[in-house]
Amino acid sequence: MSSMLRNKNVYLKALTIVVLSFAFAFSSAFAAGVPPLVITQIVPDTDNVDLGGTAGDGYELVEMYNASGKEFKTKGYHIIYAYNDDISDAKNQIWSLGDKTIPAGGFLYVWVKQEKNGVSLADFAKYWKIKEDQVVSVKSDGMANGSRRVLFVATPDKKEVSRAPYNDKEVSVEVNKSFVYGYNADGSTKLLGTKQEIALGKLRSGQIATAGAAAPATAPAAASSTAKGTVPQAMPKTGMGGAEATDNSGMMLWAAGALALAVAASVVVARRKAVQQ
């Protein structure tokens, strides 16, 4: 009887180890899925200002969120404004994210500023009720209102971190309304709505599934944050589950470790049974 109880206890302990190992492996895998820097809102059509004799959008904005769980250094990072899903298309523009530090759970705002836009940084920040040091200004002819575009967040070596397409299926731009984006646990983008009311500086319910991806190390020096877009280099696709710049090596190691523990536990149980017989 005591032998049976000992055997049962060994089996239960081994089973507990296996279950906990796999649970930890899968929770680690999902936690690593959401990219460290994501686009949460795009406002491509805003109130007009004078652009040297013509009127045009004065306050176009891209809101970005630091989901890494720690400070994120933007030095060397970019938004690639793409005309299709080809991130290496020569027509694409590269917008530097400057040299900013985004606190964990904090936001950065990219001001897409047309060349003859005379609005000051202070006025832009006041217009949106945000802080000036949260803003990076980039020079561009403006974001399209009637055509599909894709905004990629890219590493210094031009690898995709995350993406946010707009006008994806239909033209849905409206003045002073936003496209709102969320991210699934596997790192894939989800469009939460078009023509949404603009609410900056806070996440909406269910917008970010988790915030566990580690922020990359400090990158090489970036170009001026107000330089016009340049032609990007080819951007190879890496990673798993839709987050093309997500490093999944940790996930694989945990899964392998969990499997090894499961095998080891099974061997222990089998050996004890053999001895007791």
**Residue 3 clears pLDDT 60, i.e. is over it:** no
For residue 31, the model assigns a pLDDT of 42
- From residue 37, give the alpha-carbon distance in Å to each of 30, 154, 194: 16, 9, 21
CA 176 to chain centre: 24
Q: What percent of the chain has pLDDT over 70?
A: 64
The pairs formed by 200-206 with CB atoms below 8 angstroms and a separation of 24 or more are 200/41, 200/63, 200/107, 200/109, 200/128, 200/129, 200/130, 201/107, 201/130, 203/40, 203/65, 204/180, 206/182
Flag whether pLDDT at 22 surpasses 70: no
Asked if residue 179 has pLDDT above 50, the reply is yes
Q: Is the pLDDT of residue 196 over 50?
A: yes
| pLDDT of 267 higher than 50 | no
Please state the rounded mean pLDDT for residues 28-37. 67
- What is the DSSP code string of the chain? -HHHHHHHHHHHHHHHHHHHHHHHHHHHHHHTTS-SEEEEEEE----EEESSSSEEES--EEEEEE-SSS-EE-TT-EEEEESSS-TT-TT-EEEE--S-EEPTT-EEEEEEE-TT----HHHHHHHHT--GGGEEEEE-S---SSS-EEEEEE-TTS-EEEEEEESSSS----TT-EEEEEE-TTS-EEEEEEEEPP-TTSPPTTSBS---PPPPPPPPPPPPTTPPP-PPPP-----STT-TT---HHHHHHHHHHHHHHHHHHHHHHHHHHHH-
Lowest mean pLDDT among 125-129, 156-160, 180-184, 234-238: 234-238
- Range in 9-18, 51-60, 62-71, 92-101 the model is least confident about: 9-18
| Beta-bridge partner residues of 72 | 102
Check residue 33 and give its pLDDT: 86
Task: Say what the pLDDT of residue 276 is.
Answer: 53
What confidence score (pLDDT) does residue 94 get?
97
pLDDT tier for residue 124 given thresholds of 50, 70 and 90: very high
Residue 6's pLDDT band, with cuts at 50, 70 and 90, is low
Answer whether residue 23 shows pLDDT above 80: no
User: Could you state, in order of their start, the residue ranges of all structural domains in the chain?
Assistant: 2-28+252-276, 35-245
Q: What is the mean pLDDT of residues 266-273?
A: 49
- DSSP characters for 213-232? PPPPPPPPPPPPTTPPP-PP
Position 232 confidence tier, pLDDT thresholds 50, 70, 90? very low
Residue 154 has pLDDT above 70, yes or no: yes
What pLDDT is recorded for position 145? 93
- Residue 2 pLDDT more than 60? no
Given pLDDT bands bounded at 50, 70 and 90, which one contains residue 227? very low
Kindly indicate the confidence band of residue 231, based on its pLDDT and cuts at 50, 70 and 90. Answer: very low
What's the whole-number mean pLDDT along residues 79-90?
96
Residue 81 pLDDT exceeds 60: yes
Contacts 24+ apart (CB under 8 A), 133-136: 133/100, 134/100, 134/106, 134/107, 134/108, 134/109, 135/108, 135/109, 135/110, 135/111, 136/74, 136/96, 136/97, 136/98, 136/100, 136/108, 136/109, 136/110, 136/111, 136/225
- Both ends of the chain: CA-CA distance in Å? 13
Q: Whole-model pTM?
A: 0.68
Class (C level, CATH) for 35-245: mainly beta
Check pLDDT > 80 for residue 157.
yes
How many Å apart are CA 270 and CA 274, to the nearest integer?
6
